[in-house]
Amino acid sequence: DAEHALDPDYAKKLGVDTDALLVSQPDTGEQALEIMDMLIRSGAIDIVVIDSVAALVPKAEIEGEMGDSHVGLQARLMSQALRKITGALSASGTTAIFINQLREKIGVFFGSPETTTGGKALKFYASVRM
């Protein structure tokens, strides 16, 4: 839960068995993806969900000053993580779900102005996108 937004009481009211969940609320994108990698490689879980890609903020961005430019930092982080976990997902039979957000590209006159965060790696590595 990179967004730190999970409400266990509300989840229970929706019928979620919160006792069966392993919830992590990491401080950085790197930390979230390392935890994900460790869980996948352990073979102890069947499914892992990242909520959300947009909230996976790289450590350099968190430690930097407001207004600092961090162009492509999150995209590089996602690309590296996906290269690292792809084989482990296959070997362990684990399913990974990445929840993302739609953003508007500024100044787009032709085509869809909608885009997703995290760069192109997610689109490339995804088996299914909804």
Q: What is the pLDDT of residues 67-89, one digit of tens each?
A: 888 889 999 999 999 999 999 99
Please determine, for residue 64, whether its predicted confidence score (pLDDT) is greater than 90: no
pTM of the model: 0.90
Q: How many helices (H) and strands (E) does the chain have?
A: 5, 4
CB-count burial class (<10 Å; 0-12, 13-18, 19+) for 50: buried
Q: 118 CB contacts (<8 Å, ≥6 apart)?
A: 53, 54, 56, 74, 75, 78, 98, 100
Q: Where are the domains of the chain?
A: 8-125
pLDDT per residue as tens digits for the range 19-28: 999 999 999 9
Q: Confidence class of residue 122 from pLDDT cuts 50, 70 and 90?
A: very high
Q: What per-residue confidence (pLDDT) applies to 21?
A: 95
CATH top class, domain 8-125 = alpha beta
**Cβ–Cβ < 8 Å for 56, 50:** yes
pLDDT per residue as tens digits for the range 109-121: 999 999 899 999 9
